[in-house]
Amino acid sequence: MKIEYLWKDRKRFLGMPITFTRYRLSEDRLFVETGFLNIRQEEVLLYRIRDITLTIHLGQRIFGVGSVLLMSSDKTTPQLTLKNIKNPREVKELIHRQVEEAKIKRRMRVGEIMNDVDNLDPLDEEEGFGADA
């Protein structure tokens, strides 16, 4: 079975894709493949991604790249950084849309909200900011 990718890129050095790190996004997973002779592939299920952060440092701006940091509930890859990729803003938005679709398909939204209510700070509830407010 061949996987269709929605997005592909490589980690870049000085704006050029000359590294041995490849990134690929499918409908439900994000893949990171590293290595030349010995290849290692990591994957994160999109519904497990909890937070997405975009960073573009000065040097990255000069070369037209940026980095996207993904925080997930994945045990083996709780933090994944897509380093020095082209069009980082668009990639971040694409990943965000795919994460939301994956969560909706798995009916994750209600459980996630209920989990957030369970983790409320008791002091917030006393001041009228809790679940009963």
* Model confidence at 132: pLDDT above 90: no
Three-state DSSP at 129 gives coil
Secondary-structure percent of the chain, ordered helix, strand, coil, rounded to 5 = 30, 35, 35
Q: In which band, very low, low, confident or very high, does the pLDDT at 112 lie, cut at 50, 70 and 90?
A: low
Q: Please, what is the Cα angle at 15 between 2 and 67, to 5 degrees?
A: 70
Selected residue with higher pLDDT from 124 and 65: 65
Summarised one tens digit per residue, pLDDT across range 67-83 is 999 999 988 889 999 99
Domains present along the chain, CATH in parentheses = 7-108 (2.30.29.30)
C-alpha to C-alpha distance for 131 and 4, rounded to whole angstroms: 42
d(CA 20, CA 33): 8
Calculate the average pLDDT of the chain: 84
Q: Is 79 helix (H, G, I), strand (E, B) or coil?
A: strand
Cα–Cα distance measured from residue 98 to residue 80, given in angstroms and rounded to the nearest whole number = 16
* pLDDT for 18: 85
pTM, full prediction: 0.75
Residue with tokens 């008791």: 122
d(CA 11, CA 118): 39
